[in-house]
């Protein structure tokens, strides 16, 4: 979806509101996927300084826990607000995704905001114990390994340090 900000500045007497439904199932997110379309709305109105915009988005993601690799599903619902002035549209370093001619790419904006909303490390719970480094079972599932009972193999490259410490 594209929103022509230049035309809206010239003739946008009434507020603009459009529902969103974005299919991000094929998007290349790192560490998670979005199996169902993200929904929300896009709103714009004239303000004394320019255009006041609001993006509301709700998405459900699927991923694996970073510690125990259990599948997780989490929902995110957020709102972002922006104020765009006429001089912003002429700025080559403008931060919002423009598609040429002063048109805002709302789909790309929703994609970028979702990336910023989802944390880089996803956990099934804040107190997840992870996997046992010895047997590979989940520690919360009742791993009975005793790390002190298992001697770690010595790294041959550190042998010189052992000689120096002796």
**What does pTM read for this prediction?**
0.78
Q: How far is CA 150 from the centre of its chain?
A: 40
Q: What is the full DSSP assignment across 58-78?
A: EEEEEEE-TTT--EEEEEEEE
Q: Please count the other Cβ atoms lying within 10 Å of the Cβ belonging to residue 113.
A: 18
Tell me the sheet residues that pair with 57.
Answer: 40, 78
pLDDT tens track, the chain, 166 positions: 888 888 888 886 789 899 999 999 888 888 899 999 999 999 999 988 889 999 999 999 999 999 889 999 999 999 999 998 888 888 888 888 887 777 889 999 999 999 999 999 999 888 888 888 777 777 777 777 765 544 555 677 777 877 787 7
Most distant pair of Cα atoms in the chain: their distance: 83
């Amino acid at each position: 979806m594209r929103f022509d900000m230049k035309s809206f500045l010239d003739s946008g007497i009434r507020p603009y509101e459009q529902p969103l439904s974005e299919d991000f199932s094929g998007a290349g997110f790192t560490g998670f996927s979005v199996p169902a379309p993200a929904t929300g709305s896009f709103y714009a109105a004239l303000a004394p300084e320019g255009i006041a915009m609001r993006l509301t988005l709700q998405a459900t993601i699927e991923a694996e826990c970073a510690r125990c690799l259990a599948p997780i599903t989490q929902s995110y619902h957020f709102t972002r607000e922006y104020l765009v002035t006429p001089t912003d549209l002429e700025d080559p370093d403008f931060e919002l995704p423009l598609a040429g001619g002063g048109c805002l790419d709302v789909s790309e904006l929703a994609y970028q905001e979702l990336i910023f909303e989802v944390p880089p490390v996803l956990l099934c719970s804040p107190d997840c114990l992870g996997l046992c480094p010895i047997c590979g079972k989940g520690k919360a599932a009742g791993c009975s390994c005793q790390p002190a009972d298992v001697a770690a193999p010595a790294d041959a490259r550190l042998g010189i340090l052992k000689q120096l410490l002796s």
